[in-house]
Amino acid sequence: MKTRENTILEVPGIKVGQISDLEALTGCTVILCERGAVCGVDVRGGAPGSRETDLLRPENLVEKVHAVFLAGGSAFGLDGASGVMQYLEEKGIGFDVGVTHVPIVPASVLFDLTVGDYKVRPDKEMGYKACEIATDEYIEEGNVGAGTGATVGKILGMKNCMKSGLGTFAKRVGDLVVGAIVAVNAFGDVVDPGNGQIIAGALKDNLEDFADTLKIMESIGVNQQNKNVFIGNTTIGVVATNARLTKAEAKKVASMAHNGFAKTIRPCHTMYDGDTIYALSTSDLKADINLVGSLACEVMAQAVIKAVVNAGGIGGIKSYKDIKEKT
């Protein structure tokens, strides 16, 4: 599904480009902010894969980033950020160091190696191509970009998990805009925040009924977890706003946006996830940070739901649409 309304593209200064390999089941998503954006990050999961996150600490020198790169491929996928840097350097975009401009491109990856062909990962060429096709006119959701190989509910192994993907949402309050984009590849189940009911997650062996990850964890006990089934996770996303934020305030907004994960992913922020959210400030609108952070939570929660709802079954893995058709 392609759309612009109610997506992160409503935030001025944001473009999104995505490359998807539907055979290898992996891909990447680049969020371009070529004019530069103040950026903060909050890493909550215990197994993150990322680059340039230390640079975003409020006490460090560089104030603005020029893109955020999200990808599959586990740590191998970080290579794609080099393609984003090449694209931006060629356009003269980046931190001025005299002899050239160094683009600042934070990046995070999720683990999708067990879904498709593990030998194919997002690389420099894929990152570059994502930038070439980046646009502020439309965005695709579901099995696309960093969400191409995303799955949820893996406590019983990959045979019982469900397909997820990439989602985006935005909300306006007067002139203020806050948007989110997220690739949902969680260990836990995704629930409807309105009623707490599971909409995607670990399935029972009939591959029709939800097994309920938390109940399984409770039944297994505290000393009998099989860690081999916990390796394929991490939910990564970006919130963006036209509100004026400092680096410290952007980090706070990223932190508040994690509440969107807590509302929709059960459990989240486990030691088997690498949950990471970046927050971007692209403009200079004066706004209350409490409102910005609260909206960040809401739009992130809705983006998680859209990532699941818009995903289609692929590679033998069932989706929300497949389960809903039988209910």
DSSP string, 137-199: S-EE-BS-GGGTT-EE--TT-GGG-EE--EEEEEEEETTEEEEEEEE---SSEEE-TTT--EE
CATH number assigned to the domain comprising residue 125:
3.60.70.12
Q: pLDDT (tens digit, 9 = 90+) per residue, 42-88? A: 998 777 889 999 899 989 888 899 999 999 999 999 999 999 999 99
Average pLDDT over residues 214-225: 74
Average pLDDT over residues 258-269: 93
How confident is residue 311, by pLDDT bands cut at 50, 70 and 90?
Answer: very high
Q: Is the pLDDT confidence value at 1 over 80?
A: no
Q: How many whole angstroms separate alpha carbon 293 and alpha carbon 282?
A: 15
Question: Is residue 158 a contact partner of residue 115, using CB atoms and an 8 Å limit?
Answer: yes
Question: Is residue 137 a contact partner of residue 195, using CB atoms and an 8 Å limit?
Answer: no
How confident is residue 289, by pLDDT bands cut at 50, 70 and 90?
Answer: very high
pTM (2 d.p.) = 0.93
Q: How many CB atoms lie within 10 A of CB 238?
A: 33
* Structural domain containing residue 12: 2-325
How confident is residue 11, by pLDDT bands cut at 50, 70 and 90?
Answer: very high
pLDDT at 160: 93
How confident is residue 222, by pLDDT bands cut at 50, 70 and 90?
Answer: low
Q: Is the pLDDT confidence value at 325 over 80?
A: no
pLDDT at 44: 85
CA-angle at 243, arms to 237 and 248, nearest 5°: 70
Q: Is the pLDDT confidence value at 229 over 60?
A: no
pLDDT at 227: 54
pLDDT at 94: 94
pLDDT at 326: 62
User: Using CB atoms within 10 A of its CB, is residue 226 exposed (0-12), middle (13-18) or buried (19+)?
Assistant: exposed
Q: How many whole angstroms separate alpha carbon 24 and alpha carbon 152?
A: 18
Q: How many domains does the chain have?
A: 1
